[in-house]
Every structure is written in C-alpha cells, then in structure tokens.
Structure 1
C-alpha cells in the first residue's frame, strides 16, 4: 500500500503500469496509469505530431490565426481533462466540420464567423447538459454506432486530398517516411512498434536534411520564429445568418465525439 501511494505521488496521480517498461499483448495502459517517464514522454511526443497537422490545417484553410487555435486547443483539452477528472484520455483539436460553414460565410468577416463558432459551442454545452440530466441513452438513441462510425471515418477520408497533395510535393521524402512508419509499426519490438509515427517523422526529417529536401525558406522561418508571444484575439459578432449556417455543425460534433469516446472506452 505504501509503495502504491509512493508510485501514485511520484506519477502526478498516475500509478505505474507493471514495471513501466513493457505492455503485454492484449493489455492497455489505463487512464490512471503511466509507463516510465521516457516512454510516457515519447508517446506524448508522438501524439503531438499526430494531432498537430490536423489542428493547424483547419485555421490555415479558413484563415483563422494558427496561434490562437493552438492556445484554445490547449485550454479546451486542459478543461476537458479536469472536468472528466482524467478518466477519459482525449485531445480537443480543430474540427473539419467547421470548414464548410466558415468558407461559406467568409464574406461576413472573421468576427461574424467567430460568433457562429461561439454559438455552436454554446449549443454543444446545452447538449451536454441534456445528456447529463437524462443519461447517455439519449445520445445512444440519436447516434447509433453506424452513424458515429461513418462520420468518424468520413473525417479521415476528407483528409485524403491533403495527404495526396503533400505526398506529391516531395514524393521521395514522403515514400521514405511512410516506409519507415510501416516497418516500425509492423516489425518494431514492444513499445517501439507503437511509436511508428514519431520514428517515421524523425527518419523523414533526417532524410530530407541529408538530401537537401528542406526548403531554405522554411528553415529560415523556423529559425526566426518567436518562441514566446501573445495570440491574436478578437471579439465575436453574432449575425443570425452566420449562426444558422454554423449550428448544424453541432450534429457532426456530437457524432464524432461520441465515436471517439466509444472507441477509447472499447479499448
């Protein structure tokens, strides 16, 4: 009991999974568990790499400030983990469901578009309160697995053109990166096999650097970028036409979140 308490205290509320070095076949590291710190940090870095592109792609397409999106993605994730008391491991990033209404309302200006996003957020809070009061059976009745599964799959399929475009930009670097990810995932021993994305990104960067595949302007931009700064903030403006255009996104958000949470729960 004392050892367990000591382990939990040292892990900031997490207990050590097994010996912290190995995860047996068929086992899952639970939300209140962790591996050794180097392994935990490595998996965390992979998750950053996996989520970073999609989180930044939405503001890039819609013209919203990337740094502001990153800030509120972090704030939203922190609040989610606090509210769920760490029992649901999840990251809150950008949703591709917003691209269509934001693109359609571009002429109304960013303030009106932001008002639509805020309205969708408030509507989603109301949905949460209803589920809190009546139970999850409400969502299960309206969003059966065939619906949530299809929507989550379509989210991934909508990213396919972006992946194709990136692959065509530097096919050799992309092929080396993809090959490294597949080989590590399939042949990597133990935990290494679960870090395929992180290893693939490192291999791709090294290969690009050695072969001159890193564009000079990108290297310069990375070197000159500010490490610290305040994001761009603006006040929303609520226009009925934009709000009505954005509100249907709530249906997609509920479906994709239910799908994600069910998938994590099934693990």
Structure 2
C-alpha cells in the first residue's frame, strides 16, 4: 500500500491538511495511529465490559474490521470501526433469554445484522441513498436512534445500585467525566469518558470493590477468546431474536452516512459515491465479529474528533491503529483488566453515555430542521419514544419458536408505521406535503475548541 508523503513528512502547515492518500513520516504516522487507538479504546472496550463479550475478540475484530474497511473503500475514507453501542440493548435481551454465560445467541444476532448491512451496502452502491431517506426521513431516523439510547436507562440504575458503594463510585465517576470535559481542551477533553473511568476505578480500589486475582492469573500472550454463533437451523427459536436486532441496522446506516458526509465536508470532497462501500465494509466487519465472538462494529465519531483537531486524514494512520488493535487482542491480560471494572464505574459512565446516544437522535432532528409544530412529526416521535423507553414487549408465534419484540423493535415499528400512516392519510385528505425532501445526517459532534 503506497501513500504520497505530505511536504517534508514532519510538519503540517496551519492552513494545510494531510489527505487520505498522503502520510507524514512513518514515526509520525505511527504516533497518529496510536492516538487513534487511544481515542477509540474507551468506547470499544465498554461494549464487551457491559455485555460480557470477550474484550480480546472485540479488539481483534475491530482492528480487522478497520483494515477491511480501508481496503473496501480504496483508502479513500479514513475511519476506525469500533464497537457499536446500538447492539447493547438487543445483546442484553438475547443473553437474558438463554443459558447464563452463553454468548452464542447474541452472536447470531450480530452476524445477522452484518449480513443485512452488507445487503444494504450493495443496494446503496447500485441505487443510492434516496430510498433510505424515503423510508426513514429525519424524524423517523432520529426517533429510532434516540429510543435505543433511552431504552437502556434501567441498566444504569441496576449498576448504580449493584453494591453498597456502587452509588458513590458512580457519582465520583460521572463528576470526574463532567469536570474533565469542561476543564480540558483537545485530546484530553475528548477522552473524558476514559479518564473519568480511571478516576472512578481508583475510587473503587479504595472502596475495596476490585479483585485483581484474574489479572494476575492471565497470560501476557494468548489467542483471543473466539466463539461461534448459535446455529438457527438446529435451534429455530433463534430466528425469533431478529426483531430485537433489526433496528440496529437503521442506526448503523445513520452513523455510516453521517461519517461519510462529515469527512467529505472536512476535506472538501464529495465522498457520497463511497457510501455503499462503507456500508458494505461495516456489514462484512460485523459479520466477521458475529461469527468469531466479537461485538458489532460501526464508524467512530471519537476518531473524527482527532482528525478535526490534527487535520491529519491519512488512512496510513488508521492502518497502524488497526494493526495495534489486532495485537492487543492477543494479550489476555488486557481483557482481564477490562473485566475488573466494577458496576459503579459503569453506572457513572453510562448515565451520561446512554443519554448521549439518545441525544444523537435529537441532533438528527436539529440538523435536518424537523418541524415539531406538525402533528405527523409530533406523533411519530411521541408514540415511538414512549414505547421504546417503557420497553413494551410482545411475543408471537408458538411457545417452542417464539418471536420476541422488545421496546426497541416495537418503537421502531411505531416510528415507521405512524409516520407513513399519517402521511398516507394526509395525501388522501389532499393536504399540503407534510415534509420537505429529507437528508439524514449522522450524530457526529466535534468540540468547538477543536475546529
């Protein structure tokens, strides 16, 4: 893989940017790659920590997925594929319905979403994104993303109350996250989640909440903890899990489309033709993760922030980051340390993190100027959010092969159904158009200080 060297390879002029096909000197490039690993690490390891998936396999497949993404997009779109938080709720529901410690059911759901994402990528590559916008205009897309975040609120409360000291540890963690966010700029400010967890972790040690026995026993070098997904042909009940996972596809689409548009704006290029490839790459990456025991992947806003701050968009740095992540996957001691993080620290982080996931949906509304004075937008969001946040449930089919719809699945159905039903009614009535042509954007947030 060849990159053209930018300038002297050592410096970037204040008004210049390093384009995807360029690189700095290799020592500088390795440094930027390590910076991307730091930026992605906190969010990527949080998913296995919350769900119980092996951190080693998750890191391995995130690195492998990143390299695959770069290959399939022809090194034109810099991105890191880290663990997607959108999978947390359906994974949790899938684990609750099976034997304790059995991750294979959830892996089947992840694998299925990867297949569906890859199909969407092929369709988008051939026909564009117009059909996505028609099916899920911004009010629908924003609502679905929002309810996925808010649906996880009860999990935060459970972690907050897990032990006698969990509440205090959680409070110390969230206050640390907030103070670091406000007091520091640049990379430190963007790493407030990770650094807040470090402060909370130290507090948990002082409270006697952490047992390091597993860390001492873990080897420094070893294979990632791979496992296969459950077989739906020998256990047909697995097909009933899919309604809980399918809404995740909509979030992944929004994140990938938003990533493509964000990077295109920052480097002043039209990258829309790469959107289909990006979706296909994320789909294949998620398929591989589901097949081998990792978490589903998505493009990462954390790394967008690093690029915005440094003005270095070189894909060479992402190759370095992917390789480092793969190597970390072969260190079982890293996974053992991750699993020592107690419930209180998780509660402190997720009380903000899950809310921020919900607010990405709100940002989609704002970015696309959704008019909530119109009843069609009001009822689409209102009905779906209540169904999702209350976590309504519905089970259909036989007792042996049930199909389970949780709050996220039912909320998604409600958002799409209410919107299109009311739009059809408006057309029958002969009223004015209910929405303008929609353009769905992602939920990328870049600190003002980094612009």
Change (3 A) 1:238 1:212: closer
Instruction: Say whether the 8 Å CA contact 1:16–1:34 is kept in structure 2.
Output: no
Distance 1:52 1:72 in 2: 12
Residue equivalent to 1:82: 71
Gaps of 5+ in 1: 21-27
| TM norm structure 2 | 0.45
Instruction: Say whether the 8 Å CA contact 1:17–1:29 is kept in structure 2.
Output: no
Residue equivalent to 2:250: 255
Instruction: Say whether the 8 Å CA contact 1:148–1:259 is kept in structure 2.
Output: yes
Distance 1:190 1:114 in 2: 36
Report deviation, 1:180: 1.5
Q: How does 1:206-221 map to 2 (within 5 A)?
A: 206-209=202-205, 211-215=206-210, 218-221=211-214
Instruction: Say whether the 8 Å CA contact 1:81–1:87 is kept in structure 2.
Output: yes
Distance 2:42 2:35 in 1: 11
Report deviation, 1:136: 1.4
| TM norm structure 1 | 0.70
Residue equivalent to 2:88: 96
Distance 1:34 1:204 in 2: 38
Instruction: Say whether the 8 Å CA contact 1:45–1:198 is kept in structure 2.
Output: no
Match of 2:114, SS? Answer: helix
Distance 1:246 1:208 in 2: 36
Distance 1:214 1:136 in 2: 49
> Which is worse superposed, 29-38 or 109-118?
29-38
**Residues 172-224 of structure 1 deviation map (CA, whole Å, 9 limit, x = unaligned):** 22222211211121122444332322321222233333x24342xx2121222
**Residues 211-244 of structure 1 deviation map (CA, whole Å, 9 limit, x = unaligned):** 24342xx212122222332223347534283464
Change (3 A) 1:123 1:48: same
Distance 1:246 1:97 in 2: 12
Distance 1:42 1:3 in 2: 20
Report deviation, 1:150: 2.0
Higher relative contact order (CA 8 A, sep 6+): 2
> Which is worse superposed, 98-107 or 169-178?
98-107
Change (3 A) 1:149 1:228: farther
Structure with the higher helix share, 1 or 2? 1
Match of 1:186, SS? Answer: helix
Q: How does 1:225-236 map to 2 (within 5 A)?
A: 225-230=218-223, 231-234=225-228
Match of 2:222, SS? Answer: coil
Aligned partner of 1:179 among 164, 168, 175: 175
Gaps of 5+ in 2: 263-443, 445-451
Instruction: Say whether the 8 Å CA contact 2:183–2:189 is kept in structure 1.
Output: yes
Instruction: Say whether the 8 Å CA contact 2:48–2:54 is kept in structure 1.
Output: no
Change (3 A) 1:197 1:246: same
Change (3 A) 1:125 1:99: same
Matched, 1:167 2:160: yes
Report deviation, 1:111: 6.2
Q: How does 1:124-143 map to 2 (within 5 A)?
A: 124-143=117-136
Instruction: Say whether the 8 Å CA contact 2:108–2:230 is kept in structure 1.
Output: yes
Distance 2:197 2:82 in 1: 22
Q: When the two structures are aligned, how many residues end up with a matched partner? A: 245
Residue equivalent to 2:139: 146
Change (3 A) 1:41 1:201: farther
Instruction: Say whether the 8 Å CA contact 1:151–1:252 is kept in structure 2.
Output: yes
Instruction: Say whether the 8 Å CA contact 2:43–2:83 is kept in structure 1.
Output: no
Matched, 1:106 2:106: no
Distance 1:181 1:187 in 2: 10
Change (3 A) 1:144 1:128: same
